[in-house]
Amino acid sequence: MLFVALVESDATKLKELAETARNLGAVEGVRVISAYGTPVGRGVTIFEADNEEAIFRYYTPMLPFLKKVEIYPALPLEKVISFAPRE
């Protein structure tokens, strides 16, 4: 299943976060498809993962550097539109 994770880190700890992420070995059940960050400490990562628990295992070593982690299932646009409120 595909997931999107939105993170907000402590911008003063970006180097430590990057170092931790770079040294992170493979996490069972998780494949990072793409990851992007900004100089102000916000980022987005697209995962293919067995479940949300696997993604939490991925982020656990980085939690000391993160203020916020939001994980969502990545849905096709047609599916997202189907959930939109009707006027």
Q: What is the pLDDT of residues 40-71, one digit of tens each?
A: 889 999 999 999 899 999 999 999 999 999 99
Check residue 6 and give its pLDDT. Answer: 96
C-alpha 15/C-alpha 22 separation (Å) is 10
Number of domain units in the chain: 1
CATH of the domain at 47: 3.30.70.920
Sheet holding 66-73, edge to edge: 30-37, 42-49, 2-9, 66-73
Answer yes or no: is pLDDT of 87 > 90: no
* pTM of the predicted protein model: 0.82
Residue-wise pLDDT tens digits, 69-78: 999 999 988 8
Residue-wise pLDDT tens digits, 4-44: 999 999 989 989 988 998 898 889 999 999 999 888 889 99
Selection from 14, 8, 7 nearest residue 55 by Cα = 7
Decide if 32 contacts 45 (C-beta within 8 A).
yes
Domain that holds residue 72: 2-83
C-alpha 64/C-alpha 71 separation (Å) is 17
Check residue 18 and give its pLDDT. Answer: 86
